[in-house]
C-alpha cells in the first residue's frame, strides 16, 4: 500500500534551493556540502567532517576553494580529482573526486565529494605487486636459463651435468614455492574467511603445524617446545590459520642457529586467543621491524634465499590476521631472538559446536 510521506520526515528545504535536494543528496553515495552565495557552509553531510575540508563554516581546502571560484566564474559544473592530506602529520592522503555545481536561484553551490582512496590504494597495491613479482621471478628463471646452457655445454662431463641438474632442481623448487605463495596470497585477498567460518581450536592447529615443521627442525637440531596448551577456540578458516601458524614456526626455525629452541604457546584471555612463537635466533634490527610484514621485504636477502624464503610469509600472516579480525605483532632483539604474537578474537560459548575437541 502506498503511504504518503509526512512532511516532517523530509529535510527542511532552504529558501532558493530546489525542493527535495537534501533528501536526494542523502541517498547519493557521496559526501556533500552546500554553500551560500557568500561561500558559507549552509548544509553538509556528517562524513565530510572527517575529511577536514570544513573549518569555521567555510571551506578550508585551497584546491576546493579554487574549484568553487572557477564554478562561480563560469556558472558551469566542474570536477577534479584531488589528493588532500589526511592530517597535519605524515604523508597519508585522501584521494577525492570533487564535483562542484551551481544550484538554485540564489547563488548556492553544491559540492559532492567521492572518496576514491580505497580504490586508489588497491590499484597502487596491485601495481606494486606486479612490479615486485616480476622482479622476484626473474632471479630463479635467470638461474635456470644459465644452468640449462651449462648442461648443454657439459654434455660429455657426467659429473658436471649432475651438479648443474641438481642446482636446476633447487631453482625449480624455489620457483614453484614462489608461485604457490603468490596463489595463497591472492586467495587471501579475495576470500573472506568469516563468511564460511568454522569453530577451530588454535591449539590443535598449532600442534599439527609443529608436526609438519619437525623434520626441518630436526635437521638443524632445533627443539620445538610447546607449552601446556588449553583449547582456545576461534571462528575462522582452517587452512588460512594453519598457513599463518606454520609460516611463523618455519621462520623461527629458519632464522635460528643450530641447537637452539623454539617455544610455542597458545593462551586465551576473555576476548582473545594468542598464539606466540619465540626463538633464540638472529633477531631483527629495530629499523626493519615495521617493514618485515611488507611483501618481499627481507632483512637479509642472501640468508632468506639460502633458507628458500619467498619473502611473502609474513605478509600472508598479516593478511590472515586481519581477515580474522586479529593482528600480528613482533618483539625482537638483534642477536638474541624474536617473539611473534598472533592475536585472534576468541569464539566464546561455541566450544560445544566445535568438531576439533575429539581430535
**Residues numbered 293-322 forming contacts with ligand ADP, rule: CB under 6 A:** 297-300, 304, 309-315
Half-sphere exposure (Cβ direction) of 324: Cα atoms closer than 13 Å:
33
Q: Whole-number minimum distance, CB 23 to ligand ADP, in Å?
A: 51
CA 269 to chain centre: 25
User: Which C-beta is closer to ligand ADP: that of 251 or that of 323?
Assistant: 251
* Residue with Cβ nearer ligand ADP (104 or 263): 263
Burial of 287 (0-12, 13-18, 19+ CB in 10 A): exposed
Element (H, E) at 332: strand 327-333
Contact pick of 82, 204, 249, 252 for ligand ADP (by CB under 6 A): 252
Q: Residue from 42, 108, 184, 251 that binds ligand ADP (CB under 6 A)?
A: 251
Minimum Å distance from CB 357 to ligand ADP? 31
The yes or no reply on residue 282 touching ligand ADP (CB under 6 A) is yes
Least gap, CB of 187 to ligand ADP (angstroms) = 17
Applying CB under 6 A, does 37 fall inside the site for ligand ADP? Answer: no
**Whole-number Å distance between alpha carbons of 100 and 110:** 6
Per the listing, cell 529558501 goes with: 15
SS3 272: strand
Binding residue count for ligand ADP, defined by CB under 6 A: 23
Any contact of residue 279 with ligand ADP (CB under 6 A)?
yes
Distance CA 242, CA 78 (A): 52
Cβ nearer to ligand ADP, comparing 237 with 279: 279
Binding to ligand ADP by residue 140, rule CB under 6 A?
A: no
For the chain, first and last CA: distance in Å?
Answer: 57
64: contact with ligand ADP by CB under 6 A: no
> 61 vs 254, which CB is nearer to ligand ADP?
254
CB-wise, 230 or 301, nearer to ligand ADP? Answer: 301
User: Are 314 and 288 spatial neighbours (Cβ–Cβ below 8 Å)?
Assistant: no
The reply on whether position 261 binds ligand ADP by CB under 6 A is: no
**Max Cα distance, the chain (Å):** 95
Q: In the set 284, 320, 321, 328, which binds ligand ADP (CB under 6 A)?
A: 284
The DSSP string of 211-247 is HHHHHHHHHTTPEEEE------EEEE-HHHHHHHHHH
Q: How far apart, in whole angstroms, are the C-alpha atoms of residue 9 and residue 32?
A: 20
For 119, the 3-state DSSP assignment is helix
Closer CB to ligand ADP, 236 or 337, in the complex: 337
| Rounded-to-integer distance, Cα 65 and Cα 33, Å | 12
* Cα distance between residue 85 and residue 94, in whole Å: 6
> Which residue, 164 or 275, is less far from ligand ADP as judged by CB?
275
Shortest distance (Å) from residue 228 CB to ligand ADP: 23
As a whole number of angstroms, the distance between CA 75 and CA 58 comes to 20
Which range touches ligand ADP (CB under 6 A), out of 34-42, 76-84, 215-223, 280-288? 280-288
> Could you tell me if 336 and 257 are in contact, meaning their C-beta atoms sit under 8 angstroms apart?
no
Binding mask 210-249 for ligand ADP (x = CB under 6 A): -------------------------------------x--
Least distance to ligand ADP, CB of residue 208, Å = 19
CB of 284 to ligand ADP, least distance (A): 5
- Binding region for ligand ADP (CB under 6 A) out of 102-110, 158-166, 277-285, 349-357: 277-285
Among 255, 268, 273, 326, contact with ligand ADP (rule: CB under 6 A) = 255
In 154-192, where does DSSP find H-type helix?
A: 158-190
Is 184 near ligand ADP (CB under 6 A)? no
What is the CB-side half-sphere exposure of residue 320 using CA atoms within 13 A?
A: 28
In the beta sheet, which residues pair with residue 79? 99
Residues that bind ligand ADP (CB under 6 A): 247, 251-252, 255, 279, 281-284, 292, 297-300, 304, 309-315, 338
Amino acid at each position: 500500500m502506498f503511504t504518503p510521506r509526512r512532511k516532517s520526515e523530509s529535510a527542511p528545504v532552504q529558501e532558493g534551493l530546489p525542493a527535495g535536494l537534501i533528501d536526494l543528496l542523502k541517498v547519493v553515495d557521496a559526501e556533500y556540502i552546500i554553500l551560500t552565495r557568500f561561500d558559507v557552509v549552509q548544509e553538509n553531510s556528517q562524513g565530510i567532517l572527517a575529511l577536514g575540508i570544513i573549518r569555521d563554516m567555510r571551506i578550508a581546502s585551497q584546491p576546493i576553494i579554487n574549484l568553487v571560484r572557477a564554478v562561480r566564474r563560469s556558472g558551469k559544473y566542474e570536477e577534479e580529482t584531488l589528493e588532500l592530506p589526511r592530517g597535519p602529520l605524515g604523508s597519508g592522503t585522501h584521494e577525492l573526486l570533487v564535483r562542484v555545481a551551481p544550484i538554485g536561484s540564489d547563488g548556492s553551490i553544491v559540492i559532492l565529494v567521492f572518496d576514491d582512496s580505497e580504490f586508489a590504494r588497491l590499484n597502487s597495491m596491485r601495481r606494486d605487486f606486479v612490479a615486485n613479482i616480476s622482479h622476484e621471478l626473474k632471479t630463479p628463471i635467470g638461474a635456470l636459463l644459465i644452468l640449462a646452457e651449462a648442461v648443454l655445454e657439459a654434455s660429455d662431463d657426467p659429473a658436471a651435468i649432475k651438479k648443474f641438474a641438481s642446482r636446476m632442481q633447487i631453482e625449480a623448487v624455489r620457483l614453484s614455492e614462489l608461485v604457490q605463495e603468490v596463489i595463497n596470497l591472492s586467495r587471501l585477498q579475495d576470500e573472506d574467511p568469516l563468511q564460511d567460518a568454522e569453530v577451530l581450536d588454535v591449539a590443535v592447529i598449532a600442534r599439527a603445524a609443529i608436526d609438519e615443521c619437525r623434520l626441518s627442525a630436526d635437521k638443524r637440531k632445533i627443539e620445538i617446545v610447546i607449552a601446556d596448551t588449553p583449547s582456545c577456540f576461534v571462528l575462522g578458516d582452517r587452512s588460512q590459520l594453519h598457513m599463518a601458524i606454520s609460516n611463523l614456526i618455519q621462520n623461527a626455525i629458519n632464522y635460528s642457529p643450530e641447537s637452539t629452541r623454539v617455544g610455542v604457546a597458545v593462551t586465551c584471555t576473555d576476548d582473545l586467543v594468542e598464539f606466540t612463537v619465540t626463538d633464540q635466533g638472529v633477531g631483527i634490527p629495530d629499523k626493519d621491524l615495521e617493514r618485515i610484514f611488507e611483501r618481499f621485504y627481507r632483512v637479509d636477502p642472501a640468508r632468506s634465499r639460502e633458507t628458500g624464503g619467498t619473502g611473502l610469509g609474513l605478509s600472508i600472516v598479516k593478511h590472515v590476521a586481519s581477515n580474522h579480525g586479529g593482528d600480528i605483532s613482533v618483539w625482537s632483539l638483534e642477536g638474541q631472538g624474536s617473539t611473534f604474537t598472533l592475536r585472534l578474537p576468541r569464539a566464546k560459548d561455541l566450544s560445544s559446536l566445535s568438531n576439533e575437541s575429539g581430535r
